[in-house]
Amino acid sequence: MSDLSVPAGRSGAQLLPAEGKNRLREAARQLEGVFVEQLFKAMRESVPKDGFIDGGTGEEIFTGLLDQHLASAVPGGWDRSLAEALYRQLQSAAPDETPSTTSISVAPRVDP
């Protein structure tokens, strides 16, 4: 038999060292950016288009790029952002950085 040490913690949850926390915070910011971009896009589509002044493909490209830019710039000025709320919630669900280890014995598999 061989001994394996596995971190004791929540079922399958990975540990969050400093690098993991930074990656989690960045992922939360990216998700917030996607959410805000979709929000701006939905608001823009709710405005009726006038057939007289329609920019066509150029306007669509410009508004798409504008929405992306605003989505990355606007949430940074928020005191209580969606990204920070997501980060705090997900971080609290993760186990501590210094887990205990549990040893288990595993018998080698013997094929017939």
First vs last C-alpha separation in the chain: 18
Q: Does the pLDDT at position 13 exceed 60?
A: no
pLDDT (tens digit per residue) in 34-86? 898 899 889 888 887 776 667 778 888 888 898 888 888 877 777 788 888 88
Rounded CA-CA distance 57/79 in Å is 36
Write down the domain spans for the chain: 1-11+35-47+56-96
Q: What is the pTM of this model?
A: 0.58
pLDDT, residue 101, reads 52
Q: Are 37 and 71 in contact (CB under 8 A)?
A: yes
